[in-house]
Structure 1
């Protein structure tokens, strides 16, 4: 947020300067420039009005309002009277970034400012839960409770912290895991957010009874100020904190942290969420959610990565159970991980149930220890009298739990960068999908030899800002969920050369999640020449929702190399949208499949003599479907349907398949525009027979034409012939004896006029056989047409000709004789023709 003083005064001067320049541009009849300057000036005046605490009596606020209204009115008048270019938000400007963070400071109708050393307003007491009220809990100061020992000045082990009554297992499990990490590795993850602190960095009692808690939420560290009143309830032998506390004694700092977090989350009636998200709010360590039951989960690879990081103190972790469990595990519950180790080639994980009384929930998958076990020392070290901790094997954990929640040390990365922006409310034309007016970003990574290899991972964390507890995962839904994803497209910086990305490779970057945090890890493709060179990526933060609201977000980059971020100007002068679909007939899959040619295809015509900058975006209605866009040289001079592709055919590519969104453009650094001509655009899913609707958006610097290409044989009579080459009829090509004994058919074309014929043959090899080279030829007294050279392409071979009335012979052959395989021929004719086998 902009601070009062010099920076605010500089912004005020800039706002007036923009207004003056706008007036001059309007007088010079440069209406587009005037419109943009008036808009920028209005944005600055509104930002200054919302971020500077100007005293109401000095008249400054009134002048700011007047100027904001004045310049906005001029902009609207110019827009209505003249054809002006659109003004994109400069989302990376200081003012826009500060505005996003300021707007996201309101959560559950309370204001939580950015963290600073200055005091803020003490929040009202968070509402007690119905269970607490039923137990007659009341807010009391720890000093008012008889026999209470506040427990200041000492750390707590993870197994010493417990959850009591409040349904916030995700937060307490995160706190337990962080506290155990502090003990094992000397960090202060569990305690560093609570202030004041003593000389050793531990929480200390406040003389005023007021505490400030630093929590990372909605893009930045924020201040939650609370007092020392905690919910206590009567029980036999005295009173006890009804919330997070110490198993033995009355340490209050866990309860103070819990109170601050639940103040943020709307009260003690909190349903819990994802422990890595709660841990991120507490520690700012990067959250990662591994779905243990997902088909793509790699058990062995994940163990190696997790165990190595754990032993180095680079991460801490929790786990979550599914809604239905067996063997004594609590359903929909979070457990803290307190130890990870290997013994005698077996992998062990020690867990803790946060509940204060967990003896009756000791799961059956817990291993029994014997005196000679190597793990007994670790287990005894963490043993709790009521059995809250237990040890399981890694395999059992992966089998019986649903999720592994990891939090990673951000200092693993040499460079970090965050930008704050928003998704605008979807327009009716957008059908409730991603609004294409939203900004895209260009990430530039500058590798340095001493910062690690080129293959080092880049991490991107997308965080959707919340405004209420209903925006959280696992909360009672008040509306349809929002799905978010990060799509990363590596830019092709070669000058006009095709992309080096494989045409048929699926990539899981860009998967949608319905939570508030989405982490993407990817390795840039190797450089073509092996040099350490600057790399450029187009990054899209994507949302899928039908909610007509604006939603703010933060995108954070973690890299081993220097990184920078800029806004991609996506709005070109001309724009067109088309709706399409992959149906049971047109869902052809990727370029390695024989059905690829059936995918929706479009002729793109670029007229004139000048090069054109182009941006192509495909949005799939189903966020789970991996999609791709390819722009290729046409299959024929007429810009016809492409039946097969080689790498050299591709002019533009969206790269590897991405979930729900494909993007390619010519505006990447170092690229030229497209030359005038005719091209073919192909939209595909990775798997064949994947049906879904999609929207295709095209933007260009000059007018272009985009028309659907009909399917092969569209509007013609169709007949499919199924046959095979066997020992008796596999006679090979025309140079072989017995060519005429190949599978053949009599084709009779009726009068009166010429008839168009299209015939395509495809071999159907078995899984263990090789696809043969095939050919089709048509004869009367001599050869009339053929499919060209023998080919083993997945799309097969085709002939396309015009026939006069008469009788013809169609011959299907392989290049070599005695090649046995099944095949089929799709025959399309303009009129109905008789076809009989010979």
Structure 2
């Protein structure tokens, strides 16, 4: 975002894009901060205290303290920045003029990772206050303002402060680091295991990953970000609301006076006060360990922190978010093996209704989803993630959603998504046969998460990746990311996927054709022009008796969104004994995709009797050059066998409808 604003008479910057008005504070007015309307004033730090600074001399006083805004999820991620100067400098570029500097102009720059790239956000330093004190987040030091300014920049990125009420720690961690997170549930896996019964070998890995094992994280415990949250009021957390996130500052194994060890975790509450009444607060727990060690550990506790043991941790919290460590060189480090993952790639994609939003493997349109090639050069650890772009809130719907219902909040912003991978042994393969087989790796179930992660040790070779939403026709943009210990490459399949009717009484076989409209030769334009018949033509036959829609044609032009031609196509019947070159010029088409549209692709489904046909794709005006791809899907009469997946449950890999043949 560019810095746009004006200066006061004193030369201080005022941000016109995020002004000191209610529009910057409120969006839907559905949260408790809506009651503050009319009570908030905007002050610069030098108007709040005498000697403001970004950071205090004592780093312990730089930690966050939550204000009246329900953004504990964001503040937990902010706490992690204090553990890594490298990441902090990325988000808050150093050497910016501060208060008291001759070059200070009242503005600060921040950077956030958004949709695959770092985005700069510039703000002025006017902050929301009540009675001359910050009303939202602050540092424990009253003269340090890095947290309040970072929170304002994040609010500008989201649209308002109120948009930060309720969220996911995992999203904030990725926005602040550009890295990767995983989400583990502590409380519901046991019931699910009983319900699911027997599992495949692939599914058992998903159970292991959902069941948090702190031993797994022990090698990276000093480098990874760890946050815990509760969705209901547990016995130990006496004053927590229905959802609250806290930060795990450190954890270690301590020898007991008797036998064995006890694992202790130091937790920080962003409220800035202790909210725990367990054995390690009242003192009973400390009597079981060496007094010198106990004294040292208790001395580490700062304001808002407390110790608890692993049993209490696993019992009283509902889930955990783990942020992958990031090396000084900016490479991800695996939380499973501790290995560096120095090779990375990313590509964008989208699910488009009627074209590439094929739904889950339950759907007959599954293979119309976008597809990607992953080449693994050497055996190694590979992480593939699917990150969908956030949907904007619907104010009317959001106002009716309970604030505490984090699951409903996720459903508002995101589709249920999953990622499957198949190993391709040969360069030429039959896609429909391959999709009948279980994938070699998958995220196993569709989840309402911004990002899902697939992790495997993969052998060298080619892998086909298919990201999908649970519901057919669900639209969203997404980002595929790959992190690996060995060399890999990632590319998108260029052929457009067909848009298939969701029938249950047959299969679809698809053919692809590539062509070009060339000025002066094959760019004949629409039927309004005599040169129409100069356009390329593509013959095909229909052999089966129709029963409803039996042909689906999709035309996609290969041009950027900013320079599209209006495109369309006609289907003509070829009479017996004729060829497509001898079709009478006054022959009416038997099917058409018109009017011509300024879009990347157009599609048309129709029912055609058995016979010979030809497709003539065209631009509206003659002499408009472009490359294009045509996909032709024809229905055949073979029985459909579906995969069965229930949303949020592991997939039962039975078999899947064969929907497309390459």
TM-score over 0.5 for the alignment?
yes
Q: Is the 8 A contact 2:62 2:141 kept in 1?
A: no
Q: Report the counterpart of residue 464 of structure 1 in structure 2.
A: 388
Alignment deviations for residues 66-90 of structure 1 (CA, whole Å, 9 cap, x no partner): xxxxxxxxxxxxxxxxxxxxxxxxx
* Offset at residue 232 of structure 1 (A): 1.5
Alignment deviations for residues 144-199 of structure 1 (CA, whole Å, 9 cap, x no partner): 225463354757348832111111000111112331x23xxxx3334531245269
Kindly tell me: are residues 207 and 435 of structure 1, through their superposed partners in 2, closer, same or farther at Cα, counting changes over 3 Å? farther
Q: Is the 8 A contact 1:491 1:538 kept in 2?
A: yes
* Offset at residue 437 of structure 1 (A): 4.0
* Offset at residue 275 of structure 1 (A): 0.9
Alignment deviations for residues 564-623 of structure 1 (CA, whole Å, 9 cap, x no partner): 112235668998965279xxxxxxxxxxxxxxxxxxxxxxxxx9xxxxxxxxxxxxxxxx
Kindly tell me: are residues 437 and 206 of structure 1, through their superposed partners in 2, closer, same or farther at Cα, counting changes over 3 Å? farther
Higher relative contact order (CA 8 A, sep 6+): 2
Confirm or deny that 1:351 pairs with 2:312. Answer: no
Paired residues for 1:556-575 under 5 Å: 556-568=481-493
**Count of matched residue positions in the alignment of Structure 1 and Structure 2:** 456
Q: Is the 8 A contact 2:269 2:305 kept in 1?
A: yes
* Offset at residue 336 of structure 1 (A): 0.7
Q: Report the counterpart of residue 214 of structure 1 in structure 2.
A: 111
Distance (whole Å) between structure 2 residues aligned to residue 286 and residue 202 of structure 1:
35
Distance (whole Å) between structure 2 residues aligned to residue 139 and residue 574 of structure 1:
53
Q: Is the 8 A contact 1:322 1:332 kept in 2?
A: yes
Match for 2:421 among 488, 493, 496?
488
Q: Report the counterpart of residue 138 of structure 1 in structure 2.
A: 41
Which is greater in Rg?
1
Q: Is the 8 A contact 1:439 1:570 kept in 2?
A: no
Structure 2 counterpart SS, 1:466: coil
Gapped regions of structure 2 (runs ≥ 5): 3-13, 191-206, 256-260, 334-340, 399-404, 507-542, 544-636
Gapped regions of structure 1 (runs ≥ 5): 1-104, 107-118, 448-453, 527-533, 582-606, 608-677, 702-838
Distance (whole Å) between structure 2 residues aligned to residue 570 and residue 165 of structure 1:
51
* Offset at residue 133 of structure 1 (A): 1.7
Structure 1 counterpart SS, 2:480: strand
Match for 1:416 among 332, 344, 363?
344
Match for 2:373 among 415, 418, 442?
442
Q: Is the 8 A contact 1:335 1:354 kept in 2?
A: yes
Kindly tell me: are residues 679 and 292 of structure 1, through their superposed partners in 2, closer, same or farther at Cα, counting changes over 3 Å? same
Q: Report the counterpart of residue 130 of structure 2 in structure 1.
A: 233
Structure 1 counterpart SS, 2:153: helix
Paired residues for 1:574-589 under 5 Å: 578-579=503-504
Q: Report the counterpart of residue 516 of structure 1 in structure 2.
A: 450
Distance (whole Å) between structure 1 residues aligned to residue 102 and residue 423 of structure 2:
52
Distance (whole Å) between structure 2 residues aligned to residue 337 and residue 327 of structure 1:
16
Alignment deviations for residues 464-506 of structure 1 (CA, whole Å, 9 cap, x no partner): 1124256996574785851011212222249989x99998999
Distance (whole Å) between structure 2 residues aligned to residue 342 and residue 429 of structure 1:
49
Query: Pairwise CA RMSD of aligned residues?
Result: 4.6
Confirm or deny that 1:197 pairs with 2:95. Answer: yes
* Offset at residue 421 of structure 1 (A): 1.3
Distance (whole Å) between structure 2 residues aligned to residue 578 and residue 503 of structure 1:
21
* Offset at residue 401 of structure 1 (A): 1.1
Kindly tell me: are residues 206 and 407 of structure 1, through their superposed partners in 2, closer, same or farther at Cα, counting changes over 3 Å? farther
* Offset at residue 240 of structure 1 (A): 2.0
| Higher mean C-alpha displacement, 338-347 vs 317-326 | 317-326
Q: Is the 8 A contact 2:644 2:654 kept in 1?
A: no
Distance (whole Å) between structure 1 residues aligned to residue 99 and residue 49 of structure 2:
25
* Offset at residue 460 of structure 1 (A): 1.5
Q: Report the counterpart of residue 156 of structure 1 in structure 2.
A: 59
Structure 2 counterpart SS, 1:523: strand
Q: Report the counterpart of residue 402 of structure 1 in structure 2.
A: 318
Kindly tell me: are residues 256 and 218 of structure 1, through their superposed partners in 2, closer, same or farther at Cα, counting changes over 3 Å? same
Alignment deviations for residues 297-329 of structure 1 (CA, whole Å, 9 cap, x no partner): 568873122121113x2x111111123433225
* Offset at residue 404 of structure 1 (A): 0.9
Confirm or deny that 1:278 pairs with 2:172. Answer: yes
Alignment deviations for residues 510-568 of structure 1 (CA, whole Å, 9 cap, x no partner): 422102121221222x5xxxxxxx321111111124776x4211111000111111223
* Offset at residue 459 of structure 1 (A): 0.9
Confirm or deny that 1:391 pairs with 2:322. Answer: no
Q: Report the counterpart of residue 74 of structure 1 in structure 2.
A: none
| Higher mean C-alpha displacement, 298-307 vs 326-335 | 298-307
Paired residues for 1:234-313 under 5 Å: 234=131, 239-269=132-162, 270-293=164-187, 294-295=189-190, 296-297=207-208, 302-311=213-222, 313=223
* Offset at residue 399 of structure 1 (A): 2.0
* Offset at residue 424 of structure 1 (A): 0.8
Distance (whole Å) between structure 2 residues aligned to residue 280 and residue 163 of structure 1:
20
Kindly tell me: are residues 362 and 573 of structure 1, through their superposed partners in 2, closer, same or farther at Cα, counting changes over 3 Å? closer
